[in-house]
Structure 1
Amino acid sequence: IVNVITTCIKVLFHTILFYLFLAFAPILLDIEPNSFNITLPETFDGPLTANNKLSEADHLFVNEIVGPESLAVWKGDVYTGVSDGRIIRIRKDRYKTVAQFGNPEKCANPWEMGKCGRPLGKVKRILTSKRPIADLRPKFLDDLVINEEENAIYFTDASKRWDLENVFYTVGEHDESGRVIRFDLKTRNSTVIMKSLGFPNGIELNDDKTALLVCEFNNRRIMKHFIDGDRRGQTDIFSFNLPGEPDK
């Protein structure tokens, strides 16, 4: 009897695995891997000199919050969004939930971020992913920066193929379909100003607001795109051959 029960359990277990494979196997996805080469810096000196600064930092709230990424400091407190849709306020060695997006019961796990989102900031909705931009619907909106002087918002669309829940395929196939989009707050028009980027995520204005700095995660470099002046519309490589993938 024990052997029969054991056999039944094994059959059930492998049956479940089989159906899980059919449901989630990568071979069923439209993966288009691209070949690429990785080159490390010739020397690790100057800013790249090895150090222990990160290992000496204190790890706060272990197993309590998951996925904090974008941070804002206000009156000495730190605010951040986490993967279950909450915005929390950190004050000294304690934290408190100050806002909740979505139903926390339906997005308690990191792989359910699509249900509640991971707040990286809060703004009024100005466009929807259902509306195409240059014939493509936004798929993976990642980061934004506001240029108040020209009343415009610049944001990254990390991939035309994969969304946040499938971010590992964006990296795994070395996807280079990302874009940077300019949204005019006055006319409400959107314009693609950079394309064919390898997982563009972080974006920031330079000090004089004449150019954008855009992280290309897959290509391990930072691009500089001019938005004002004589070189407006031109793009340079600001930093390349980084020892790791840049993010923000």
Structure 2
Amino acid sequence: MKKLLALLVMLLAAAAGYLALTPSPIDPLPWDAAPAPEMTGVLEPNDTLMKAELLARGQVHGPEDTAVDGQGRVYAGLHDGRIVRVQEDDSLETFVDTGGRPLGMNFDADGNLIVADAYKGLLSIDPQGAIKVLTTEADGLPFAFTDDLDIASDGTIYFSDASSRFEQPDYLLDLLEARPHGRLLSYNPASGETRVLLDGLYFANGVALSANEDFVLVNETYRYRITRYWLKGDKVGQHDIFIDNLPGLPDNLQGDRKGTFWVALPTPRKADADFLHRHPWLKAQLAKLPRALWPKAIPYGFAIALDEQGNIVRSLHDTSGTHLRMVTSVKPVGDYLYFGSLDNDRIGKLQIH
């Protein structure tokens, strides 16, 4: 018993020495988040996501976002850099391999698939699979984490660079550091100009235009909020908070251009995460540890719908996290919603009622 206790003391001393001597990969700030909203009313948990049809189950790894072409074929970007197309018999066809990590995607008016690739920048892929790099930097600062996009009727692409400091594998370090490294940008395909619309965002993620394109929204994942940037009207060039204190971490964002925005929430809020944010020293120590020792996300499926006034009007849940978990995108197409996930092995398809 004494030998066991001595060994335990030695291990604890070694761990303490490691933490004391190892520099942290982050320089965290404290943040005091407001209490999470109660899961009542429109947020009341339900089993709606359990009713979703599952596409390509077991054939995909991390279909983070999806897109549907004019023929109704579903595309998804995977961890290994491929963008795959789901066939009628539910088999997969590789459309293209970007050599990076394809994230947000939408088709433009000419049938090109516009992709925010975490490593490669903003891409345009024609129907034959030819890849064109549209832009990789703005104001002299390269994109470190190109994330999501939406396309206006005039062809302008609005997109996000989630973090100028941390690349995609280290997105959780950006969460712990709690500093604003994100940007909202626009790309003009006619002139080739890339503009920074907003910087200083806390992990700029999902991007979506309003129905009449008078404003564009961008998710600030690590502040549990959505920011609005005005494109037209008296407030053009200004920004404000569209909705704050969301019940989960907002990931991708997509409007149906009829007045509804769908927000993917990969995980509900956790009280211990909000507690951790108030203590930067603890965050600095946690960042030194192997990821296997970090707190885990709640296995849960979650998405919400917002109106154009920033009100939550509907929520979809998989409380078990067994059917559709860690939802990172919701794509409204016709009468259906398509669900992507950063680390699941399936794509969800749900008819809207």
Q: TM-score range by the shorter chain?
A: 0.7 to 0.9
Counterpart in 1 of 2:150? 145
Counterpart in 2 of 1:51? 46
Supply the distance in 2 between the matched residues of 1:40 and 1:93 (Cα, whole angstroms): 46
SS in structure 2 of the partner of residue 88 of structure 1: strand
* Stretches of structure 1 lacking an aligned partner (at least 5 in a row): 1-21, 103-114
Counterpart in 1 of 2:97? 101
Matched, 1:65 2:69: no
What does residue range 61-140 of structure 1 map to in structure 2 within 5 Å?
A: 61-74=56-69, 75-91=71-87, 94-101=90-97, 115-118=99-102, 120-121=104-105, 122=113, 123=124, 124-129=132-137, 133-140=138-145
Supply the distance in 2 between the matched residues of 1:246 and 1:50 (Cα, whole angstroms): 17
- Equivalent residues of 1:157, 1:179 under 8 A apart: yes
- Report the TM-score, using the length of structure 1 for normalisation: 0.74
Counterpart in 1 of 2:182? 178
- Equivalent residues of 1:85, 1:116 under 8 A apart: yes
Cα deviation per residue 1:182-241 (whole Å; 9 max; x = unaligned)?
223333222211111110111010001010011110001111110111110111211111
SS in structure 1 of the partner of residue 223 of structure 2: coil
AA paired with 1:241? Answer: N
* Stretches of structure 2 lacking an aligned partner (at least 5 in a row): 1-17, 106-112, 114-123, 125-131, 253-353
Cα deviation per residue 1:30-84 (whole Å; 9 max; x = unaligned)?
4111211233344333321111223454555454311102112233332212111
Distance 1:53 1:166, change over 3 A: same
Relative to structure 2, which stretch is displaced further, 207-216 or 53-62?
Answer: 53-62
1:193 to 194, 197, 204: 197
Counterpart in 2 of 1:31? 26
Counterpart in 1 of 2:314? none
SS in structure 1 of the partner of residue 174 of structure 2: helix
Distance 1:83 1:49, change over 3 A: same
- Report the TM-score, using the length of structure 2 for normalisation: 0.54
1:240 to 241, 244, 249: 244
**Displacement of 1:118 after TM fit?**
2.9
- Of all paired residues, the percent bearing the same amino acid is 31
Matched, 1:159 2:167: no
CA RMSD of aligned residues (A): 2.7
Counterpart in 1 of 2:264? none
SS in structure 1 of the partner of residue 197 of structure 2: strand
Distance 1:200 1:119, change over 3 A: closer
Distance 1:43 1:29, change over 3 A: closer
Which is richer in strand?
2
Higher RCO (C-alpha 8 Å, min separation 6): 2
Distance 1:59 1:185, change over 3 A: closer
**Displacement of 1:92 after TM fit?**
5.4
Aligned positions, number = 210
* Greater gyration radius: 1
2:225 to 203, 221, 229: 221
Supply the distance in 2 between the matched residues of 1:234 and 1:163 (Cα, whole angstroms): 28
